[in-house]
Structure 1
Amino acid sequence: MRGLGELESAVMNVLWEAGEPVRVRDVLERLDTGKPLAYTTVMTVLDNLHRKGWTAREQHGKAYHYTPASSREEASTRALREVLGSSADPEAVLLHFVASVSDEETELLRGALRKKRPHRR
């Protein structure tokens, strides 16, 4: 995910897959990074994600319960918007993207464009 480090992305994947609020301990138990992590490391990552606006949290007793602030699809859309917004030539970016998509993705894109409502000004 653009804008996130490797561990932050892994933590967000746990949150998106959980489907319910989770504690730091729950995230730690579900993380599969290939290396052992300290509880405090995961707690710091979740705190950073909260500060960056990626997570919401509610305190229950002494523990916070974390949820994603947006869906995986919304976060992906935000990342795409950032890429387009950072380019001096967004048309060229879109054209390169379209040239790279599979036949199946082309059909998905065509269907999405047919459903798109025009912007009202």
Structure 2
Amino acid sequence: MRQLGQLEAVIMDLVWAYGRPVPVRQVLEDLRRDRRIAYTTVMTVMDNLYRKGFLTREMVARAYRYQPAKTREQHHAAVMEKVLADSSDRAATLLHFLEQMQPDEVVRLREALEQRPASGKSSDS
């Protein structure tokens, strides 16, 4: 799994927040609230995100509309899996992660583990 660059992460956050397919122009308008940025820059970054598999797109009236290929949660789970895969000791890495969790997060994790399918894989993986 490739890491997201700074502008890529900002754009992905926006696209996840929209909850619907969006054209480059919409993303550009929202980005321009906080920074000066060119249309071509946003278009290039969104095209790169599409090529990397983070976005899907569909041509609508001569312009692409983009949407996330995965939910934010699916993306973060994939990032966590990559971190674990790169670890020389998965169990130790998980334990260190758990030590950093708040007690209420540990309770939610335990509840999620109790509801986990027997195969260990969710049906939407």
Do both proteins adopt the same fold according to a TM-score greater than 0.5, normalized to the shorter chain? yes
Q: Is the 8 A contact 1:21 1:65 kept in 2?
A: yes
Name the structure 1 match of 2:48. Answer: 48
Unaligned runs of 5+ in 1: none
Query: TM-score normalised to the size of structure 1?
Result: 0.92
Deviation at 1:113, TM superposition (A): 1.1
Deviation at 1:32, TM superposition (A): 6.2
Deviation at 1:119, TM superposition (A): 2.0
Deviation at 1:34, TM superposition (A): 3.5
% identical aligned pairs: 45
Deviation at 1:31, TM superposition (A): 2.2
Name the structure 1 match of 2:123. Answer: none
Unaligned runs of 5+ in 2: 121-125
Name the structure 1 match of 2:4. Answer: 4
Deviation at 1:62, TM superposition (A): 1.8
SS where residue 66 of structure 2 aligns? strand
Alignment of 1:8-87 (within 5 A): 8-31=8-31, 34-87=34-87
Deviation at 1:117, TM superposition (A): 2.2
After the TM superposition, which parts of structure 1 deviate over 4 Å for at least 4 consecutive aligned residues? none
Deviation at 1:20, TM superposition (A): 1.0
Aligned-residue CA RMSD (Å): 1.5
C-alpha distance in 2, partners of 1:17/1:117?
29
Query: TM-score normalised to the size of structure 2?
Result: 0.89
**Letter paired with 2:66:** Y
**Letter paired with 1:61:** A
Q: How many residues align?
A: 119
**Letter paired with 1:72:** R
SS where residue 21 of structure 2 aligns? coil
Q: Is the 8 A contact 1:10 1:33 kept in 2?
A: no
SS where residue 96 of structure 1 aligns? helix
**Letter paired with 1:20:** R
**Letter paired with 2:98:** V
